Amino acid sequence: MSTELLIALIPALPIAGFLFAVLLGPRLDRVPTHHDGHDTHDSDDAHGTDEAHAAHAAHDDVDDSAFRGIPTEEEQAATSPHAGHHDDLANAAGADGVIPAELNDGIGQTGHVTPGGPQPVYRSWFVPVLLVAASWVASMIVFANVVFGGETYHVTLYEWIGSGDFHVEIAFLVDGLTAMLLLVVSSVGLLVHVYSIGYMNGDRGFWRFFAYLNLFMFSMLLLILGDNFLMLYVGWEAVGLCSYLLIGFWYKKPSAAGAAKKAFVVNRIGDFGFGLGIMAIWTALGTLQFEEVFETIGTLDPTLITVIALLLFAGAVGKSAQFPLHVWLPDAMEGPTPVSALIHAATMVNAGVYMVARANPIFAESPVAMWVVASIGVFTAIFAAAIALTQNDIKKVLAYSTVSQLAYMFFALGIGAWVAAIFHLVAHGFFKGLLFMASGSVIHGAGGEQDMRFMGGLRDRMRWTYWTMVIGSLALAGIPIFAGFFSKDEILAEAFNRGYYLFYVIGVVVAFMTAFYTFRMIFMTFWGEWRGPAEAWHHVHESARTMVAPLVILAVPTVLVGLFLGIPPEGGLIHTWLEEVFHHAEELHAGVLPGSILDEALAHGEHHGFELFGIGGLLLLVGATAGALGIWLAYRWYVLNPDAPRRFVERIPLGLGPGMYAASVNKYYVDDVYQLVFARGGVYLSNLLWWFDAKVIDGAVNGAGWLASRSGGILRHTQTGRVQNYGLGIATGMVLVLVAYLVIR
Amino acid sequence: MLATGVVGGGLAVVTLRNIIHSAIAMMVCFGSLAGMYLLLGAGIVAAAQVLIYLGAISVLILFAIMLTQAGDANLPAPFHRQVWFAAVVALATIGLIGWVVISTDWGAGAEAVAVVLDELATALFTDFALPFEILSLLLLAAIIGAIYLARRPEEDERAN
Amino acid sequence: MGLSGYLVVSTLLFGIGAFGFLARRNSILMLICIELMLNAVNLSLVAFNAYAGPGEVTGAIFALMIMAVAAAEATVGLGLVIAIIRTRQTAEVDEYSELKE
């Protein structure tokens, strides 16, 4: 089996899985309905109308009181620990978890519907997961060939568009960059599929979930495998669509539906800029194929290159949730946790980073664009970290953490540390996926609770989850040995070496904050005493094996990837693998500030190497210390001295403490500003335009009709039917003609 | 003097209320015109004028008036509302045509030359023979048409 | 009187006839005015013939033709008017407005 065929199979298998799930999925599951005790093959939630419910109720002759599927709104409110807690605005809207009665037909929030009556069966996972596993095998074979064999593959399938001068082929390009992404996407994707078997068990939309997951895999793989900008864009849009479908998976929940819309719309804003950038590329260069574009990009006017680069980056800002388009990602936590793990940690949000890395020749030609990328990256990093400090929902902490870590990657790309960025991408994909899935396990085990204020003491009951999550957190905090340490410190070292001293300092501060909020999360969740409802404590249990196994599997690369790829620092294996992808940008010394250490070295023709007992080692120490300090502070404040955070806030001078806290909890009011300016402004504008359309435009049309009618009515009076009137008209005309003839001669 | 008769008669025609008076005025006008033709030396035309207009058409009109008893009614409002506009138009017409007529050099002689009857007669039957014959046809058609138009409906009597 | 004089008279008569045709309300009177206009034209024709075309007879013959045609037209026209008056019992042209919009 040739490698080219394998490459073609990689995206083909998931799309086959999607088709299978869509066509046969409903038949394979047997999901209990909640009105009659009979099995129906209608395993999905099609009936929402009152008439349909009434019709079903008419057949209700089976006592299904044993089947407690649908709690009423009162029941939901009574048993929810959120009841009465609306002080946390970050979790306010819909956060009390109550689904309105007329919409609720058993779609669980965490996937548990209490069974009773006939045993439900969920079989539709088998083929989709199998196909994704096969795709993973193919991906790994290709990865090995590329990385260890040093090959780059070009596979052309057929010409898609051939219209005059515009030619686009369906073709795949697999080089070192694609291979790294394949590793992350395929592996984490497969693990999430396996995890979902357990997590989504009991959900009425079980088959639909796997269909969407497979569709997502197909789209993401298309995105990273494509060899031209148009295929990238197609995959880009498709993952945006899948993100919408998956975030809004529980579509009857208003907050979920709203979050899905928000994600898609905000994404689309970035995509608009991205689309313009692609059009600009084609207009200027006549081709969209990566290699052809990168060869000729240098011939363009520098301003044009900057504009193109910034437009492309706009797309990345939207897709990878950087400021100011970051607002969709925290709300996207409305989706099931596997979705968060896959899309918002390990794969989709990486698309922006991949795209900028892929287009590095374009960015390398434009120092302005690179500076913009780095600045937005640094700013978003500290901005998101500042919000994550005060969040109480465990998934929201991880969401903002994702935004912050992605910002690190953009920071790295912007300063020219391309390899470091990709390294961090790979490491982050693994440990963030791990963290999300572990948090899903926590939520599952805690009976659907997501608020960390109502957790605690879980480490004894959920050992596997606890230890894997700790490993993930250590990686995220950048503790030595673990993956995050090598990648994050490489980024910081590059920042220092290239002369970005201020950004470096900010980066270190963010590392400290990251460690702090991560371990705050750990301590609040697993240590101390259980703070939730007493009955719920009895149900706290470790999760099923299908859920825990992926956690363990992911813990391995979390520990090892750093060691494997990143040693020696600033020159590890990953540099060798990715050398060819970035060599053009390296030649240009993109991102190196004058007067910096690297600049000096290059000027003298030396290669700057890593010195353990020199600058390099010092930077490593600084990074590790920042991480350790963060953990220590979290320990002091959340284990030893729980009252300390509150007192700290009070002691902040000038009484700014509570205000700063509120600002952080409310996400610095960015969403509120958007609501005011764009949502309300948009409504106002559309009302204005409606007025214009109804009154002016319609008025003109109606007015034309009125005018015709009126003038007709007036002219009608000339038709008197009397000969003499007509005669007078004729005579008058004759006189006028005479006058005209005689006078105007 | 004849000019006065012509113009005065015309004015009388259009301004008199009673239609029979208008008809009489018309006859006066025609008579004056006949006199003018004589002065212009067109005796045959004058004769034709008297015969046809004064003798036939005027009588015809008087008959029509009397048959329809339209003359008994003294019209309360003989003029339309558009009378003033019509007057303006008429005056404009007169003015324009008059101006053209007066200011054009017609190459006219000083004296009216009489029409020679022999030549007229000859021309009528040679140069203008065709119009002459067509005219007869026209008159025939007119007679038939007039008879048809003016007959009383006979179907009622037949039905009875 | 000179050609101009006759022509002026003719013009005046024509104008008067036009005015009467347009301004009076009796249908028979309208026919009378038509006759007036025709006569005016006759006069100008004969005048031209006398003054500007010595030796010519065309003008006189034309005038005779016009007279004949006028007679025919008066005949038919009066027949029509009588028929209309009989039908509508009125000679007012204002009433003949069937073709009104």
pLDDT, position A240: 92
Q: Which residues of B touch A724 (CB under 8 A)?
A: 80, 82
Q: Give the closest residue to C24 by CA, choosing from A345, B12, A385.
A: B12
pLDDT of residue A416: 86
Cβ pair C28:B102 closer than 8 A = no
Examine the pLDDT at A441 and tell me if it is beyond 50.
yes
Point out which residues pair with A173 in neighbouring strands.
A154
| C99 within some domain | no
Contact at CB, C8 and B98, closer than 8 angstroms: yes
Q: Which residues of C touch A731 (CB under 8 A)?
A: 18, 22
Q: Distance (Å, rounded) from C-alpha C80 to C-alpha A327?
A: 92
Which chain C residue is nearest to residue A714, measuring alpha carbons?
Answer: C101
Q: Does C34 map to a domain?
A: yes
The beta-carbon neighbor of C22 closest among A716, A718, A728 is A728
**Gap between the Cα atoms of A251 and A584, Å rounded:** 47
Under an 8 A CB cutoff, do B112 and C65 touch?
no
Length of chain B, please? 160
Question: pLDDT of A603-637, one tens digit each?
Answer: 776 666 666 667 777 887 888 888 888 888 888 88
Range B1-70+78-103 has CATH code 1.20.120.1200:
yes
Which residues of chain A are within 8 Å of residue C101 when distances are taken between CB atoms? 716-721
The owner of tokens 């007025």 is A691
DSSP reduced 3-state for C101: coil
Q: Is C98 a domain residue?
A: no
Contacts of A578 (CB under 8 A, 6+ apart): A176, A177, A180, A418, A419, A422
State the greatest distance between any 2 C-alpha atoms of chain B, in Å, as a whole number: 71
Q: What is the pTM of this model?
A: 0.69
Please list every residue in chain B whose beta carbon sits closer than 8 Å to the beta carbon of residue A745. Answer: none
Q: Which residue has the higher pLDDT, A169 or A583?
A: A169
Q: Do B100 and A742 touch (CB under 8 A)?
A: yes
Tens digits of residue pLDDT in A368-407:
999 999 999 999 999 999 989 888 888 889 999 999 999 9
Question: What is the pLDDT, as a whole number, of residue A221?
Answer: 93
Contact A719 C99 (CB under 8 A): yes
CATH of the domain at C64: 1.10.287.3510
- How would you class A505 by CB atoms within 10 Å of its CB: exposed for 0-12, middle for 13-18, buried for 19 or more? middle
Residues of A in contact with B99 (CB under 8 A): 742
Structure-token pair, residue A353:
């980073």
Has residue A41 got a pLDDT over 70? no
Report pLDDT for B137.
Answer: 94
Measure in Å the smallest separation between the Cα of A737 and chain C Cα atoms.
Answer: 17
Residue of A411, A379, A393, A403 whose CA lies nearest to A328: A403
Helices (H), A320-359: 328-331, 337-341, 350-358
* pLDDT score, position A120: 65
Across the strands, what pairs with A161? A168
Neighbours of chain C (3+ CB pairs under 8 A): A, B
Question: Under 8 Å CB-to-CB from A704, ≥6 apart: which residues?
Answer: none
Q: Which of B86, B96, B97 sits opposite A728 (nearest CB)?
A: B86
DSSP string, A576-623: HHHHHHHHHHHHHTTTPPTTSHHHHHHHTTPPP---TTSHHHHHHHHH
What are the E-state strand segments in A588-701? none
3-state DSSP assignment of residue A33: coil
Provide Rg for chain C, Cα atoms. 17
Determine contact, residues C26/C92, Cβ cutoff 8 Å. yes
| C101 domain-assigned | no
Per-residue pLDDT band for A45 (boundaries 50, 70, 90) equals very low
B93 vs A contacts (CB less than 8 Å): 731, 734-735, 738
Among chain A residues, the shortest Cα distance to B91 is held by A735
Identify whether A568 is preceded by a cis peptide bond (ω within 30 of 0): yes
For residues A35 and A26, what is the distance between their CA atoms, to the nearest angstrom?
19
C18, C21, C99 member nearest A721 (Cβ): C99
Percent of the residues in chain A that have a pLDDT greater than 90, as a whole number: 22
Contacts of B among chains (3+ CB pairs under 8 A): A, C
Is a pLDDT exceeding 60 seen at residue A551? Answer: yes
Joined tokens for residue A205 = 């939309």
- A143/A573: higher pLDDT: A143
For residue C39, the chain B residues in CB contact (below 8 A) are: 29-30, 33, 53
Closest by CA to B77, choosing from A588, C94, A636, is C94
Beta strands in A17-88 (DSSP E): 31-32, 39-40
Those residues whose C-beta lies under 8 Å from the C-beta of residue A339, and which sit 6 or more positions away, are A246, A247, A249, A332
Nearest by CB to A731, from B80, B89, B99: name it. B89
Average pLDDT of A638-652? 75
Contact C71/B at CB under 8 A: yes
**pLDDT value for A496:** 86
The one-character DSSP state at C93 is: G
Q: How far, in Å, are A31, A43, A53, A121, A546 from residue A105 at the CA level?
A: 12, 12, 10, 18, 27
Contact A724 B85 (CB under 8 A): no
Q: Nearest chain B Cα to A732, which residue?
A: B89
Measured between CA atoms, the residue of chain B closest to residue A727 is: B86
CA A718 to chain centre: 74
Residue with tokens 């596993």: A133
**Enclosing H/E stretch for B23:** helix B19-39
Residue of chain A minimizing CA distance to C20: A724
The domain total for chain C is 1
Distance CA C69, CA C63 (A): 10
Is A735 in contact with B92 (Cβ distance < 8 A)?
yes
Across the range A234-245, mean pLDDT stands at 92
Chain B, 11 to 40: residues with Cβ < 8 Å from chain C are: 11, 13-14, 19, 22-23, 26, 29-30, 33, 36-37, 39-40
Print the domain residue range for C59. Answer: 2-93
B93 contacts A735? CB cut-off 8 A: yes
If DSSP codes are grouped into helix, strand and coil, which group holds residue A533? Answer: coil
The whole-number pLDDT of residue A84 equals 44
For residue A612, the model assigns a pLDDT of: 64
Chain A residues with CB under 8 Å of B96 CB are: 735, 738-739, 742
CA distance C96 to chain B (A): 14
Q: What percent of chain A has pLDDT over 70?
A: 85
Question: What pLDDT sits at residue B72?
Answer: 57
Contact list in A for residue B78 (CB cut-off 8 A) is: none
How confident is the model over A8-23, as a mean pLDDT? 87
Residue B83 at interface with chain C, using a CB cutoff of 8 Å: yes
Report DSSP state, residue A153. E
Compute CA distances B70 → A551, B21, B66, whole Å: 119, 12, 7
Q: Which residue has the higher pLDDT, A483 or A283?
A: A283
The arithmetic mean of pLDDT across residues A22-33, rounded, is 74
pLDDT digits 0-9 by tens, B102-155: 888 777 777 777 777 888 888 888 888 999 999 999 999 998 988 887 777 665
**CB-based contact A369:A363 (threshold 8 Å):** yes
Is residue A91 over pLDDT 50?
no
b/e per residue, A589-621, with b = 16+ CB within 10 A?
Answer: ebbbbeebbbbeeeeeeeebebeeeeebeebbe
Q: What is the mean pLDDT of chain A?
A: 80
Nearest to A721 among C22, C23, C100 (CB): C100
Q: Which of residues 7-66 of C touch B (CB under 8 A)?
A: 7-9, 11-20, 22-26, 28-29, 31-33, 35-36, 39, 42-43, 46-52, 54-55, 57-58, 60-61, 63-65
Distances (CA, A) of A655 to A649, A651, A661, B123: 9, 8, 11, 130
Which chain B residue lies closest to A738 (C-alpha atoms)?
B96
What ipTM was assigned to the predicted interfaces of this complex?
A: 0.87
Helix H segments across A59-125?
73-79
